[in-house]
Structure 1
């Protein structure tokens, strides 16, 4: 994997997370990062306080720490990200480049933004609703703070520019360089409301599901979860259950509803997902909050071994724009480590992903509980 980057004419060693992923050709930075850093290092020389949104693996934060270091004083950087993995990657890459993290405040996607800022840097997220959420928060900042955004040219649409114009200031765009483009805008201190979080009724129930902007299947029940509902556990056993990659928590929520003596831990690497899951339990099953835990984490990293009876999972098959199975594989490995002997991992996946073969090799068994044209539900048992 290429780890040696040159950003704003300065060398860095940068790693993409998780470190154990199989596809080592994926980089921890892209052409949009390069273009953005080259521009701001030339045009914004007096910056001392920087707000950085959506720095996927810390490439921007590492480079900014060096670009804006004056007389051994590092700039104040506010790193805002929804992703637990992105935050961990940033801290790791700072250390790899002999940079401290004491000058960086790490904020999640729902934290209040600082107002004492000289420059806002924003990597355009793939999720347009999440961009609107972030621009709405920027609309509350003091007027005339420069905002420089970057992304792949093909993913900056007319609707993207309309969002900037609606929430902050009429944007201008750069020429495309290496298939990347910059957007220039500024804050106005004219707060604009955002439609998120959104809520909708969960079909065939009296429950209302609330979703923050960056949650998977934000606007309706996804078809995978709908099919998985047919294969969720029920009964009076006092099981310790994990909803792994919980999203808005509908799988764990339905499990709590069907199992009055169970305890469910909701885990996701998205801060917005964990917050949505917590709200959905509080709104729909408030008496079960004491039976629930909500964990913002990289899968089951650092979970206690042999502590769970059942892990339920609808694993993702992508990380940002990269299609990959390494997250699913990490989930399967860590589930095996976390389950008690005799414990079960129950998953739903797209049929073409061939999880059955992977699980058979890892656990030595795999049972098909059900399938349709698109999905299959699989069960494996941990055996000593």
Structure 2
């Protein structure tokens, strides 16, 4: 837990789920820079926050917690960010209804008077969100983006300029930068180009040639990533009424392949990204055939799964949290899989060879075998004893 101090108050903040081994804060210099600008602490006029305030991409609820007195609307693709926001409001004695929580799949407000954008890692997600929010922006809307210097590029500014209006940046302060955008009411409002769709290659097993749907922000939205492609060539051959989980499902290609290979299985697609689960559901519905059933869950991995309820978990864990490199997500996924698997159930993982997932799996499961490998990736199998 760590403290964010503004001119008016201090806030105790934490990521979700809290992990004492996680060295990363729930806020950074970009959040602090934006809050100082809103207060007028840099010598400028404070921003009028009496209208509808929308905060897009608030990573762990730091911005919305600090702005809770103005009853902001938070729009995020992250279930974990929403959960962190609720927890941070509670730990600071702020009523939960002080912030209206929306996902990127929800309809945004009809009118936005102040739009604050925490620039996401995914340029595609920023593009989609600006398109969705543009109709609610008017000539008097204050639009300010924020991010670390390494997160704001010429392409970032070009998106604001193309979709909203004239754009400029601030000087860098503590390696953070602000983006100022002036809405142009005369600018024609184009619809978002997302989602994108592409056909899978013809040599990847049961899902060969199938069409994949990718909403903005989903990893490798315009092509099949090489790690998943390697995984698809080495999935377990199973039959019968298995309970299968595609954990961290992304666009759902792995779970779809498992469902097509074993029609008697019931597959659950889980991701903390609303965009990912929407992509997985559309991919499954378009390819699995009439009558095929599956479950689609936005949440914290297998945290809510009943112990011993799963036969097979398929997992391609991320090793980034926003811009930070960390194995915290993978560790949590492995622990959740171990708890949810029945005795004899299996966790299959694909990952970059250098990440050393086999060490963690061996410690947790007491076993781990390498199913396949190449110079970059390994496919690992661990069995619940």
Q: TM-score range by the shorter chain?
A: over 0.9
Q: Distance in 2 between matches of 1:179 and 1:336?
A: 40
1:168 aligns with 2:164: yes
**What is the CA distance between 1:318 and its match in structure 2?**
1.2
Q: Give structure 2 stretches of 5+ with no counterpart.
A: 41-45, 203-207
Report 1:65-144 matches (<5 A): 65=68, 69=69, 75-144=70-139
1:225 aligns with 2:228: yes
User: Do 1:244 and 1:312's aligned partners in 2 also have CA atoms closer than 8 Å?
Assistant: yes
Name the counterpart of 2:373: 371
Q: TM-score, normalised by structure 2?
A: 0.93
Residue 302 of structure 2: SS of its match in structure 1? Answer: coil
Q: Distance in 1 between matches of 2:375 and 2:120?
A: 31
The count of residues paired between Structure 1 and Structure 2 equals: 372
Report 1:202-281 matches (<5 A): 202-204=200-202, 205-281=208-284
CA displacement 1:257-296 (0-9 Å, x = unmatched): 1101111000000000000000001111132542x00000
Alpha-carbon spacing, 1:8–1:282, altered in 2? closer, same or farther (3 Å): farther
CA displacement 1:353-383 (0-9 Å, x = unmatched): 1111111111111111111111111111111
Name the counterpart of 2:345: 343
Q: Distance in 2 between matches of 1:365 and 1:176?
A: 49
After superposition, the CA RMSD in angstroms is 1.4
1:53 aligns with 2:52: no
1:147 aligns with 2:143: yes
User: Do 1:345 and 1:379's aligned partners in 2 also have CA atoms closer than 8 Å?
Assistant: yes
Q: Give structure 1 stretches of 5+ with no counterpart.
A: 70-74
**What is the CA distance between 1:221 and its match in structure 2?**
0.3
Residue 143 of structure 2: SS of its match in structure 1? Answer: strand
CA displacement 1:299-355 (0-9 Å, x = unmatched): 111111110000010111111111111111111111010000111111111111111
Q: Distance in 2 between matches of 1:56 and 1:339?
A: 31
1:285 aligns with 2:288: yes
Q: Which moved more, 1:233-242 or 1:267-276?
A: 233-242
Q: Distance in 2 between matches of 1:59 and 1:127?
A: 20
Residue 287 of structure 1: SS of its match in structure 2? Answer: coil
Q: Which moved more, 1:222-231 or 1:241-250?
A: 222-231
Q: Distance in 1 between matches of 2:6 and 2:330?
A: 32
Report 1:317-336 matches (<5 A): 317-336=319-338
1:39 aligns with 2:37: yes
Residue 346 of structure 2: SS of its match in structure 1? Answer: strand
Name the counterpart of 2:305: 303
User: Do 1:317 and 1:323's aligned partners in 2 also have CA atoms closer than 8 Å?
Assistant: yes
Residue 44 of structure 1: SS of its match in structure 2? Answer: coil
**What is the CA distance between 1:193 and its match in structure 2?**
2.1
Residue 13 of structure 1: SS of its match in structure 2? Answer: strand
**What is the CA distance between 1:142 and its match in structure 2?**
4.0
CA displacement 1:206-252 (0-9 Å, x = unmatched): 31111001101111001011111122133432100000000000000
Q: Distance in 1 between matches of 2:243 and 2:310?
A: 5
User: Do 2:170 and 2:178's aligned partners in 1 also have CA atoms closer than 8 Å?
Assistant: yes
Q: TM-score, normalised by structure 1?
A: 0.94
**What is the CA distance between 1:116 and its match in structure 2?**
3.0
Q: Distance in 2 between matches of 1:46 and 1:346?
A: 49
From 159, 175, 186, the equivalent of 1:179 is: 175
User: Do 2:166 and 2:184's aligned partners in 1 also have CA atoms closer than 8 Å?
Assistant: no
CA displacement 1:111-166 (0-9 Å, x = unmatched): 11102332111101111111111111122114221111111123221111111111
User: Do 1:139 and 1:192's aligned partners in 2 also have CA atoms closer than 8 Å?
Assistant: no
